[in-house]
Amino acid sequence: MQAEALVERSNQSPKFPTSDSPASNLPSLQRQAPDGPRPRPALLMCAPKVYEVSYVINPWMEGNLGHSSRQRALRQWRNLYHALSSMAQICLVEPRAGLPDMVFTANAGLARDGLVALSSFAYRERQGEEPLFRRWFQEAGYTVIDTPRETPFEGEGDALFSADGMRLWAGYGFRTAPSSHAALERIWSVEVVGLHLVDPRFYHLDTCFAPLEDGSLLYVPAAFDQASLRKIEAFYPAEKRIAVSERDGLAFACNAVNLGRRIVLNRISAELEEELRRRGFEVTQIELDEFLKAGGAAKCLVLKLTPSLHCGSNADDPMQAELLEV
């Protein structure tokens, strides 16, 4: 779907580099890490204080209009928040009324090394989120690069780095235009490999594809075309590929948050849990079915950040006390 230019973009942010952009025009990619121990991972989340299913922009929303429970969503989100805050710095962005999908912060952009490629949402229903996320990233100290409206790009929902950071897997077919991939390659000087999504239930890459930090992969083979499967199989040897069942795929088992040896995700089958534990992962399952109504689960609810820009205690966040009272 061709997105409409409904949100005015700030002229203070660098534009998404085009094929004609000289390297000298790109912002510096390197940020000096502070001396001392490596900072904990940092994640961006947004409390579902305005969450609801009030429109349909993916198959999961069909039949769920008006059937979401904000109270239940808050309880489930808080459980995820507490599980992740034990191993990562959690940063919070304040939601705004009328933007119920803002809770899915993974779609805000792609952040790495102090840079963020801000998303250009394909559907007008989410385009109002863009200036709010831009402001948050600018205030946090990131260099923000805007994506042109004519080049839809939906952030970490459709762009996931391999464990070594040397390859960026980029999904396309439903929300992100493949024309955005070349710009991502220039921003981070990384190999970008496009994967064509063919099942509308898996409309974002992070719903069916999860590169794990041990170098293995959790994925739904049926979500991709044959050319994309060949790319996946050429990079990940058979012993590193974990093909999930349809049941687990539709429970968004691949929409997992992996930090070190820990994996946090929605409810999965005993068979998949056993396989992950056999590979040395500590698995934490959290009921997130309220968010499945809108087409999201654990990974959709977080965006990975640059840790060195967020060194500090979660308790320092002024919204923390409010969250604990939800």
Structure tokens at 300: 């959709």
Whether 300 is a known active-site residue: answer: yes
Q: Note the Cα 316 to chain centre separation in Å.
A: 24
Distance CA 218, CA 226 (A): 17
User: 16's torsion region: left (phi>0), alpha (psi -120 to 50) or beta?
Assistant: beta
- Name the CA dihedral angle for 305, 5, 103, 263, rounded to a multiple of 10 degrees: -50
Residue type, 74: L
Whether 181 is a known active-site residue: answer: no
325 touches 178 (CB < 8 A): no
Active-site residue, selected from the candidate residues 204, 208, 254, 310: 204
Distance CA 46, CA 103 (A): 5
The candidate with the shortest Cα–Cα distance to 260, out of 86, 113, 93, is: 86
Distance CA 198, CA 214 (A): 27
Structure tokens at 311: 């060194």
* H helical segments located in 177-253: 181-188, 226-235, 246-250
Active-site residue, selected from the candidate residues 91, 208, 254, 300: 300
- Residues 6 or more apart whose CB falls under 8 angstroms from that of 71 comprise none
Distance CA 304, CA 307 (A): 9
Residues taking part in catalysis? 204, 300
